Amino acid sequence: MGYDTAAKTDPESVVPEEFGGMWFLKDALETDHVGFSILELEPGGKGKEHDETHTDQEEIYYVAEGSIEVELTDRDETVALDTDEMIRLDFDESRQLHNRGDERAKLVLVGAPL
């Protein structure tokens, strides 16, 4: 088949609803290399601190709604992003997402091995 379709809610969220939600859509879209996820964080919510050294994949985070802060934990630096802004991260960049705003943040996360 030349294409696949999916809905955000095809897979179950890996984050409890009270914190927002996170849906990994790679399997639903049957992609070979590209990871595609939707992340929603409630105000005060945060993501898991991590890097992608185990997958060697760079990632792009696009803020579709709201605002977030990307804490670059090894650098002791924080990057603030608002709606329609994005960041690309190397696989070895340790990061943690925070929603310190007043509204739910919605992000599109894309990753692929280098």
The pLDDT tens digits for 60-100 are 999 999 999 999 999 999 999 999 999 999 999 999 999 99
How many other C-beta atoms lie within 10 A of the C-beta of residue 25?
21
Residues in contact with 2: Cβ distance below 8 Å, sequence separation at least 6, in sequence order: none
Q: Which parts of the chain fold into alpha helices (H)?
A: 26-29
Tokens 């919510």 sit at which residue? Answer: 45
What's at 87, amino acid-wise? Answer: I
Ordered by start, the domain boundaries in the chain are 36-106
pTM, rounded to two decimals: 0.93
Strands 77-82 and 67-72: antiparallel
Q: Which CATH architecture has domain 36-106?
A: Sandwich (2.60)
Summarize pLDDT for 30-58 with one digit per residue, the tens.
999 999 999 999 999 999 899 999 999 99
